[in-house]
Amino acid sequence: MMDKLNFAIEYSNKIGAEFAEARAEDASRMQITLKDGEIKEITMDRLIGIGIKIIHKGAQAYSFTSKFDKDSIKQIVEQAFKAAKVAAGSVKVPLKPLEYEGKSGTYSYNVKTHFDKVEPEKKKELVIRFYNTAKDIAKNVVQITSSYGELFGRRYFLNSDGINYSLDIFLTGLNGRILSKVNGELIAHGESEGAFAGFEYWTDVISIEKFATEAATILNKKQKAKAAPAGKFRALVENRLAGVLAHESFGHLTEGDFVMSNLSPLANKLGEKLGSESATIIDEGTPKAGGFWLPIDDEGVRTTKTVLLDKGVLVGYLNSRETATMLDKKLTGNARAVSIRFPPIPRMKNTYFAPSDLKTEEKLELLKNGIYAVKTFGGQVEMDGNFMFKTAYAYKVENGEITDMYKEAILTGNILDFLKNIEGAFNDLKIYTSYFGGCGKGGQYPLPVGLGGPHLLLKEVHFGGEKT
Amino acid sequence: MKYDKDFLQSLNDTIIKKALAKGVDSVESYISISEGINITTKGPFIEALNSNPTEFEIKVAIGKKVGIASVTSLEERQIEETIEKAIKIAKIIPEDKDFIKFAEPIRRASNDGIISDEILQLSSDDLVKMVIDATTESKKADSRIISSTGIANKSYNIFSVANSNGINEASEGAGYYIAVAVNAKADVGTSSGYEFLVSRKKVEDVTGLGEKAAERALEFISPEKLEGAVKYPLVFENLVFSDILSVMMGYTLSARHVMYKESYYTDKLGEMVANKNFTLIDDGQLPEGLSTTKIDREGVPRQKTIVIDKGKLVSFLTDSYSAYKMNLPLTGNSSGNAVSPTNFRIEGGNKGFQGLIESFDECVVIKTNLLGVGHSNSQTGDFSILATNPLLWQKGELKPLRPVTLAGNFYKILHNVLEVGNDYRLLSDGYLPSVAIEGITISS
């Protein structure tokens, strides 16, 4: 594959492009879906292609093809070069990748059991096992859906600076969702597991039965749960939800392109105190606590452990080489592309709230009275920092004890208020990633990322409530 | 720019023969080629993206065992490998009792949507100019505008579907859009606004687009707080109502979801699911509609389907898998292995957006920016979404409010549609007017 990239770069130089970056990808997916107690669908997809990014006279253009012959490569190089020249006519501030000392290499990830070496039967078993366990425990079931997914492949990179690398990807995930009907009302619950790993994750790490039991048990409880109240409450936020908050409502605002274009409310705020002493947010390429493994980004920059918010003070942004030139001159390794169909843009790696010294076993006691918000079905934010997150479920806590369960609850507010309200972080950091889900930005979805945090204690959070 | 339909259809023909020769009972093949140019401005930077994705997907059936595989390439070797993969899956997958057969050809006249040469000929230069003009205009509109980003995009797609039952069809379409998003300095923090235009008919003048985006952001720089939880009537502007409508109805009208009892409308065909003010149509043949094609993803002719007629649920949307299993008509809504709506239309009344607002003494008006629509529960209909730019209509005046949460059950509140406007706007989800509705809890 490197010879194709070499040809693309040489041809870019030949026709006069100032800077070029060539990427290639070969990625395979397999997905298995069970419904109605039966395997309904098995699909296999393969994504292959080669793409070229050209920066010429301060403008950037990208073009790709799924053909690897020389004529097709020439064609995309010419196309990108032409588009860059056109765009260059309207450039006010020229785009320039920050100079760097890149590191060429082969970034291999050692999995114990490659997906390729596992019989499809073994993979089918996973969704069946989820179903078999869940159906016996869950009550009033209308439908159970479980899906298995795997992705593996390799990315290749070469730029005009001569930096080249190849990088492995291995992702897997299992989603289980149970739908029930009680007194005419549909009530659903789903759980998800996943990792950057080979198939050994399902044989050595995860117990499908335990995972399915959890999903079914929570669903049964939700059938009796009340709607969450609306209003402001003291709150405890669980790890996964903390991660989504770190990613969605804060991480995006630190992405270099949003900062540089003043779209982010965090623009020009480096050094400012935005949150409490307990609010520390980090974005890292290869965290020890797990998550998505990303040693190098799609511009050939080694990823760093990037502290974004340090004890409440904004200290960093997430950069591509281009935004680093404009912003703080720090290369963080955050230029990422969802696939060969797109150029890299500033995206997150593994974004998490840093843990602290509060003991997780004392979390309910420390919350004392309030709402314990658990997991999430996702949420949405706006560039002004407003957010809305839906928790998977929540508990009412009175005098340090769980007294009631709430169905899905809604957290709303502005991230800058949220950060100020963090009273403490616990010592139980967890970072998650999965084949399923991912981050979306600029039409590039789903980009696999990692996210997480410890439990967080909040002085006050606004809950929207399902009904009042 | 345009590709030849015959070329795709003849390639599909070869693929079908090849797969049948390998011993499968039936086969369906899909080929797609797209071309697009996307220009983005972010602050001072400008980026161009030329895309030319191709896709090949094959479904093979051995009895009731179906294998599906795809690849992003039309090269012979890749096609060959993908056929083999699908056959391999069909050999290991258990029988699917719900699979009857791939789509049979049906006689129903249908057409591609409008294809404009003017749009097909839009160049990178044209798109750069459009986006620069629009973003510059938004910044010039007011000194409080602190940022403006824009996107201009043109795309073309052609696809062909063939199967061993005798279907071999092709369809093509092209369109473009331009969007501007701005941030304005507000009393506290910033406020945001956006505006866009989308068309497959002709290249429109972008003048006024940037100003409109700025106007939307500036309207909210001094918001007031709405006290407590209230149930005012709500007026949703066309482009906002479409968001929640497509998320909810796209799910619940799918016969695949009905088949597995995952839809709120399971067992409700023929029942009143909305009040008489509400008639919903899925129009896959609206000439200017962005989702209009001659055929759906499995070669079935698109059509106009009335789904809710004056409140009564009269049809689901189907693909061959669900239609044959449930004995329903083929509505031409296959999107591959799922059922998707095309262009939604709601039958309108006789007032514009302002008219709808003025018909109330007091109401809350939602113009743009709903957060969390995509995370609403489309199975149950429960939603709780954050409207970041709401307005309160009171004493003949519109006042901006701080963000409010809107909560309720979408399927139930369709019984509370007060009035539908006539201010139709072309959107990615259809051709839709503004809607006045009550029964939604609004809390701050």
pLDDT value of position B260:
94
The Cα A68–Cα A374 span in angstroms is 48
Q: Is the pLDDT of residue A173 over 50?
A: yes
With CB atoms and an 8 Å threshold, state whether B189 touches A385: yes
pLDDT tens-digit map of B123-133: 999 999 999 99
- A283-302 average pLDDT score: 97
Smallest Cβ distance to A44: which of B48, B85, B97?
B85
With CB atoms and an 8 Å threshold, state whether B189 touches A83: no
Q: Is the pLDDT of residue A89 over 90?
A: no
Q: Which of B49, B91, B98 to mutate to test the interface with A (most CBs of A within 10 A)?
A: B49
With CB atoms and an 8 Å threshold, state whether A39 touches B372: no
pLDDT tens-digit map of B171-189: 999 999 999 999 999 888 7
With CB atoms and an 8 Å threshold, state whether A265 touches B147: no
Chain B CA closest to residue A36:
B260
pLDDT tens-digit map of A358-408: 999 999 999 999 999 999 877 778 877 888 888 999 999 999 999 999 987
pLDDT value of position B423:
96
Smallest Cβ distance to B50: which of A83, A379, A416?
A83
Chain A CA closest to residue B190:
A384
Chain A CA closest to residue B50:
A63
Give the number of residues written for chain B. 444
- B62-73 average pLDDT score: 97
Residues of chain B positioned with their CB less than 8 A from the CB of A253: none
With CB atoms and an 8 Å threshold, state whether A66 touches B74: yes
3-class secondary structure, B230: strand
Q: Looking at CA atoms only, how far is residue B49 from chain A in angstroms? A: 5
For A2-224, CATH gives: 3.30.2290.10
Q: What is the ipTM of this complex?
A: 0.89
What percentage of chain B carries pLDDT values higher than 90? 83
Judge residue B394's burial from the number of C-beta atoms within 10 Å of its C-beta, 0-12 exposed, 13-18 middle, 19 or more buried.
Answer: middle
For chain A, the average pLDDT equals 94
Smallest Cβ distance to B96: which of A38, A63, A65?
A38
pLDDT value of position A467:
43
Where do the structural domains in chain A lie, given as residue ranges?
2-224, 227-464
pLDDT value of position A390:
85
With CB atoms and an 8 Å threshold, state whether A388 touches B385: yes
Q: Residue A468 — very low, low, confident or very high, per pLDDT cuts 50/70/90?
A: very low
Q: Looking at CA atoms only, how far is residue A287 from chain B in angstroms? A: 29
With CB atoms and an 8 Å threshold, state whether B42 touches A412: no
pLDDT value of position A464:
75
Interface of B with A in 88-107 (CB under 8 A): 89, 92-94, 96-98
pLDDT value of position B2:
66
With CB atoms and an 8 Å threshold, state whether B441 touches A408: no
The Cα A117–Cα B190 span in angstroms is 53
Chain A CA closest to residue B217:
A384
Q: Which of B126, B133, B443, B444 to mutate to test the interface with A (most CBs of A within 10 A)?
A: B443
Q: Is the pLDDT of residue B1 over 80?
A: no
* Lowest-pLDDT range of A438-447, A455-464, B141-150, B281-290: A438-447
pLDDT value of position A37:
94
With CB atoms and an 8 Å threshold, state whether B229 touches A382: no
The Cα B8–Cα B15 span in angstroms is 11
The Cα B250–Cα A308 span in angstroms is 39
pLDDT value of position A465:
53
DSSP H or E run through B309: strand B304-309
Smallest Cβ distance to B260: which of A143, A408, A442?
A143
Residues of chain B positioned with their CB less than 8 A from the CB of A44: 68-70, 85-86, 89
Residues of chain B positioned with their CB less than 8 A from the CB of A324: none
pLDDT tens-digit map of A193-239: 999 999 999 999 999 999 999 999 999 999 999 888 888 999 999 99
Q: Is the pLDDT of residue A442 over 60?
A: yes
Chain A CA closest to residue B382:
A466
Token pair of B48, please? 């161009």
With CB atoms and an 8 Å threshold, state whether A381 touches B85: no
Bridge pairing between strands A38-56 and B65-71: parallel
Chain B CA closest to residue A182:
B380
